[in-house]
Structures are given as structure tokens and as C-alpha cells.
């Protein structure tokens, strides 16, 4: 356990397990029974902040504050400041997300514009961060849209909270979405589905066609989420109204007696992890009523020119053309476009005067090694390079290829 209460001081040493959320709710509950209405929060030694505990605790603090409980922060570690735990970020336009990395930060969202802006910003940041297997992006987009939309459609709370992370070391993406609304059981209890206990409501919500109101929803959202996670062998934890359901691979486990704010305010936590080294087959995962559904990739379609090639304009990229990191982020983006489409990709240098040689190496040198010279030539066309850029690229690619030949020689000896 990483949360301790001494009188009205709550010390939080780590934010990494769903149990931390339960411990926080208990601390406030028992503190309240002991007569406390204000608390001191000590985050001085919080070293780890995963979404599964950080997002619910941020949302709970926000809720308790509105209920008149006062929190004084004694100290907070850098990570707690960085994720905005005590002040979840509000957004009022897409531009608010333009110059920040939206990962590792807690956001508040209250309407479908917020959902749209946030999901786009998450996906854009991720596609520059690493190479993802086929279907992962579309799968993730589905999960985020559906879960965040559910907060708006069903929770009866003003807003929800979200944070995402990428863990490159084990190639996982983790997202948690939280609201302090009525909870899944309360939402479904008076419908034809009639769950008897909170845990039944969770099992029901993940089934095909279960919705509180067929006039509004189809009951596909959570079912699709579950199928995507199963298809990817990822993991999903759904916690609401004192019950929790944990799904890993195809195995589900359920838990009862999870602390929550109150019977009426059952809260909902959706936490999921996707293994991005593994593919997601959307045709298999999103099969409704026997009909398979493949989302159309509008973003990729927009990039296509009249010949069906993908036009990738370098000068529209925001990272610049001078550093290795910029080259790597653009390379990841191109690799991810290729995962989603088998079209030829034109890398257009128009409007660019100069690039650094380390940028050229990171972007093009490494693409040539990734696909081989022949594969590269079949997949990519380089257009509108000035003479200087041509020289820089020429040199960096030949150096890379020479190195790769050298290393394959030494591997063979």
C-alpha cells in the first residue's frame, strides 16, 4: 500500500495500483468519520505515477474539493507536478494542445469537442513516438472515443478525466478514463437488463448490444473495447459501483467490495493497456451481429493524391529538420502510415532549404536499413530536394549502407 493517513495528513508514496485509489477513498472516508474536513497531502516522495491510480485520485480530489473538503499540499514531487494531478488541465480549443506533449498529463473533458481534440492529440503524439503494429492505432482510437463518449452520455457527471502513457521498454500504451458519476450499475439497473449486483452490470456492459437506452446507443462501445483488448492480448480493468472486472487475454476475474464515493455516486474507472508490438485485427475484433466493421481511415485517405499515392509534406511537420530526435519522430510517423496503408509514400521536401545530416540519417538512412535498398525504392519517392539536401541525404544514406554491410560482414566472420 502506498497511501497512509495520520490524523488529517495523507501521505502518497506511489500512484501505481488500483488499490491506491481505494486507499485514498478510505482515507477520506475514515478521516471524515474521525471529524476531519480538511487534509494535508504529502506527495514529497511520490516517484511513480501510472494512469490507473493518478487519474482517479486527481478526479476524486477535484470532486471532494467541490464538496467543501479542503486540501493543502505540503509538498509535491516533480512527477506529481508534471502530470497536473492537483490541477487537471482544461482545454478550450484544439490550439491549447498544439505545443504540448499530451501524454503523461491529466486532462479534464466535458464535451465531444474535448474528446475529439484530445484523441487527435494523443494519436499524433503516439505516432511520432514509436512504431506500432498494424491495427493498433485504429483500435486505440476506437477505445478512447467510446470510453470518453460514455462519460458524456451516461455518467451524469459534469466531466471526466483522462491520462495516457507510452512505456517503450515493454511496448505498452496505457490509458485511464475516470468519472465521479452514477456508475455502470446505477445506469443499467432499471433497464431490461436488470443487473442484480454491481459486478453483473460490468459483465453485462461488456456484452454486445447492452445499452441503457436503445434509442440513444447500440451497446457496441464497451463490447468493441473488450474485443479489441482480447484480440491484442492486452488488459482491461473496469471498476464501478463497488465492483471491479479485470480482463487479461481472454480471462476475466471479478472483485467486490471496492470502496467508492457512495451508492449513488458509483464512479467509473476504465483502465486499458495495449501491447503495441502485437497487431490488432479490427475485422475480427469489431464484429457486430455477425457483420464485420472496419473503420475507414479518413486521416490516411486525406493524404492521398490523385494517383493514389500518399503525399507526406515534410514542411508541415512541427518538429524541425535539425535534430536526430526530429528525424526519429518523423520516421516513426512514416512507418506508422505505412502500417495503415500499402500506398507509395512521397516524401516531399518542398519549402525546406536545409536539413542536418543527423536528421537525414535518422529519417532516411534508417528507413533504407529498415526496408532494404530495394524495398525502400519500391515504397518511397523523394521529391523536391534542392542540391544541398540531395548531397546531405546521399552522404548519410551511403554511410548507413556501408555500415550495415560492414556489420553484416563482421557477423558472418
Ligand X SMILES: Nc1ncnc2c1ncn2[C@@H]1O[C@H](COP(=O)(O)OP(=O)(O)OP(=O)(O)O)[C@@H](O)[C@H]1O
Binding interface with ligand X (CB under 6 A):
146, 150-151, 153-155, 179, 181-184, 187-188, 205, 210-212, 217-223, 268
For residue 151, the minimal CB distance to ligand X (Å) is 5
Output the residue with the shortest Cβ distance to ligand X: 217
Task: Compose the 323-362 pattern: x for residues touching Mg ion by CB under 5 A, - for all others.
Answer: ----------------------------------------
205: helix, coil or strand? Answer: helix
Nearer to ligand X, 57 or 310 (CB): 57
Nearer to ligand X, 212 or 400 (CB): 212
Interaction partner, residue 159 (Mg ion, ligand X, none; CB < 5-8 Å by kind): none
| Residue 401: Cβ-neighbour burial (10 angstroms; 0-12, 13-18, 19+) | middle
CB of 359 within 8 A of CB of 389? no
CA atoms within 13 A on the CB side of 333: 24
Nearer to Mg ion, 151 or 389 (CB): 151
Measured from the Cβ of residue 103, the count of other Cβ atoms closer than 10 Å reads 19
H or E stretch at 405: helix 387-412
Nearer to Mg ion, 89 or 143 (CB): 143
Radius of gyration of the chain (CA): 24
Nearer to ligand X, 146 or 271 (CB): 146
Nearer to Mg ion, 91 or 210 (CB): 210
State the residue for C-alpha cell 495516457.
164
For residue 404, the minimal CB distance to ligand X (Å) is 48
* Binder among 31, 102, 181, 221 for Mg ion (CB under 5 A): 221
Nearer to ligand X, 236 or 334 (CB): 236
For residue 222, the minimal CB distance to ligand X (Å) is 3
Cell readout for 376 is 525502400
Interaction partner, residue 188 (Mg ion, ligand X, none; CB < 5-8 Å by kind): ligand X
Nearer to ligand X, 80 or 151 (CB): 151
- Please list every residue from 93 through 152 that binds Mg ion, using CB under 5 A: 150
For residue 191, the minimal CB distance to Mg ion (Å) is 14
For residue 147, the minimal CB distance to ligand X (Å) is 7
The Cα–Cα gap between 78 and 58 comes to 16
Q: Is 54 in the site for Mg ion (CB under 5 A)?
A: no
Helix ranges, 34-102 (H):
51-66, 78-82
Measured from the Cβ of residue 133, the count of other Cβ atoms closer than 10 Å reads 18
State the residue for C-alpha cell 497536473.
84
State the residue for C-alpha cell 500504451.
173
CB of 29 within 8 A of CB of 60? no
For residue 3, the minimal CB distance to Mg ion (Å) is 32
Measured from the Cβ of residue 390, the count of other Cβ atoms closer than 10 Å reads 12
Measured from the Cβ of residue 38, the count of other Cβ atoms closer than 10 Å reads 11
- Please list every residue from 271 through 330 that binds Mg ion, using CB under 5 A: none
The Cα–Cα gap between 52 and 162 comes to 10
Angle at 226 between CA 104 and CA 256, to 5 degrees: 85
For residue 221, the minimal CB distance to Mg ion (Å) is 3
Q: What are phi and psi of 292, to 5 degrees?
A: -85, 140
Nearer to Mg ion, 141 or 279 (CB): 141
DSSP string, 102-163: -TT--EEE-SHHHHHHHHHHHHHHHHHHS---TTHHHHHHHHHHHHHHHHHHHS-SS-EEEE
For residue 148, the minimal CB distance to Mg ion (Å) is 10
Output the residue with the shortest Cβ distance to Mg ion: 221
For residue 185, the minimal CB distance to Mg ion (Å) is 16
Interaction partner, residue 234 (ligand X, Mg ion, none; CB < 5-8 Å by kind): none
Interaction partner, residue 102 (Mg ion, ligand X, none; CB < 5-8 Å by kind): none
Interaction partner, residue 151 (Mg ion, ligand X, none; CB < 5-8 Å by kind): ligand X
Give the list of residues 6+ apart from residue 37 with CB closer than 8 angstroms, or none.
Answer: 68, 69, 70
CB of 176 within 8 A of CB of 106? no
Positions that interact with Mg ion (CB under 5 A):
150, 221
Amino acid at each position: 500500500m502506498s497511501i497512509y493517513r495520520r490524523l488529517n495528513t495523507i501521505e502518497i508514496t506511489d500512484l501505481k495500483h488500483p488499490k491506491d485509489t481505494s486507499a485514498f477513498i478510505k482515507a477520506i472516508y475514515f478521516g471524515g468519520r474521525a471529524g476531519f474536513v480538511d487534509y494535508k497531502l504529502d506527495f514529497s516522495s511520490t516517484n511513480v505515477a501510472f494512469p490507473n491510480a493518478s487519474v482517479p485520485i486527481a478526479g476524486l480530489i477535484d470532486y471532494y474539493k467541490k464538496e467543501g473538503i479542503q486540501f493543502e499540499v505540503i509538498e509535491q514531487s516533480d512527477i506529481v507536478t508534471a502530470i497536473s494531478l492537483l490541477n487537471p488541465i482544461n482545454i478550450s480549443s484544439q490550439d491549447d494542445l498544439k505545443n504540448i506533449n499530451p501524454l503523461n498529463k491529466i486532462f479534464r473533458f466535458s464535451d465531444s469537442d474535448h474528446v475529439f481534440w484530445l484523441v487527435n492529440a494523443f494519436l499524433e503524439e503516439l505516432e511520432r513516438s514509436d512504431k506500432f503494429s498494424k491495427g493498433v492505432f485504429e483500435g486505440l482510437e476506437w477505445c478512447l472515443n467510446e470510453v470518453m463518449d460514455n462519460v458524456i452520455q451516461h455518467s451524469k457527471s459534469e466531466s471526466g478525466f483522462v491520462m495516457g502513457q507510452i512505456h517503450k521498454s515493454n511496448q505498452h500504451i496505457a490509458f485511464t478514463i475516470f468519472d465521479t458519476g452514477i456508475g455502470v450499475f446505477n445506469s443499467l439497473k432499471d433497464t431490461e437488463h436488470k443487473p442484480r449486483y454491481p459486478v453483473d452490470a460490468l459483465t453485462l456492459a461488456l456484452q454486445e448490444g447492452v445499452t441503457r437506452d436503445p434509442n440513444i446507443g447500440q451497446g457496441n462501445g464497451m463490447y468493441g473495447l473488450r474485443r479489441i483488448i482480447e484480440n491484442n492480448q492486452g488488459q482491461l480493468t473496469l471498476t464501478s459501483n463497488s465492483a471491479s472486472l479485470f480482463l487479461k487475454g481472454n480471462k476475466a476475474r471479478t472483485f467486490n467490495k471496492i470502496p467508492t464515493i457512495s451508492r449513488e455516486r458509483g464512479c467509473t474507472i476504465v483502465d486499458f493497456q495495449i501491447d503495441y508490438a502485437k497487431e490488432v485485427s479490427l475485422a475480427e475484433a469489431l464484429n457486430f451481429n455477425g457483420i464485420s466493421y472496419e473503420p475507414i481511415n479518413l486521416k490516411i485517405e486525406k493524404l492521398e493524391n490523385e494517383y493514389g499515392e500518399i503525399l507526406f509534406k515534410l514542411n508541415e511537420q512541427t518538429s524541425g529538420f535539425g535534430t536526430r530526435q526530429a528525424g526519429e519522430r518523423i520516421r516513426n510517423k512514416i512507418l506508422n502510415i505505412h502500417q495503415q496503408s500499402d500506398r507509395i509514400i512521397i516524401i516531399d521536401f518542398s519549402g525546406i532549404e536545409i536539413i542536418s545530416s543527423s536528421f537525414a540519417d535518422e529519417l532516411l538512412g534508417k528507413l533504407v536499413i529498415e526496408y532494404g535498398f530495394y524495398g525502400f525504392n519500391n515504397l518511397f519517392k523523394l521529391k523536391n530536394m534542392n542540391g544541398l539536401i540531395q548531397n546531405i541525404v546521399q552522404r548519410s544514406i551511403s554511410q548507413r549502407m556501408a555500415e550495415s554491410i560492414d556489420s553484416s560482414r563482421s557477423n558472418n566472420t
